[in-house]
Amino acid sequence: MGLCPDCGRPASECGSEQYMVQTRVCGPSAAVDQWRKDNKNPPPGVVLSTVKVKAAVDSPAVQTAPEWWLRKHGYIE
């Protein structure tokens, strides 16, 4: 009983069962993919790394914003 050349599972298994596709999104990979899409010709030597984007609510701009601004932009009710 050989292995399926397409999926690598035993041929008996992949020919007799039903399968569905599962997807998930990797945030850092998505960011790199988007960057590559937006930067078609990056200069030589550019190395990509990913960092977590800080939530806007944690930023100094929001932390020091006046109350009317926070209300206007939905940070407080």
Q: Which residues bind Zn ion (CB under 5 A)?
A: 4, 6-7, 14
Task: State which residue, 6 or 58, has the beta carbon closest to Zn ion.
Answer: 6
In angstroms, what is the minimal distance from the CB of 22 to Zn ion? 16
The CB-of-5 to Zn ion minimum distance in angstroms stands at: 8
Nearer to Zn ion, 4 or 56 (CB): 4
The string of DSSP codes covering 19-76 is --------HHHHHHHHHHHH-SSPPTT------PPPPGGGSHHHHT--HHHHHHTTS-
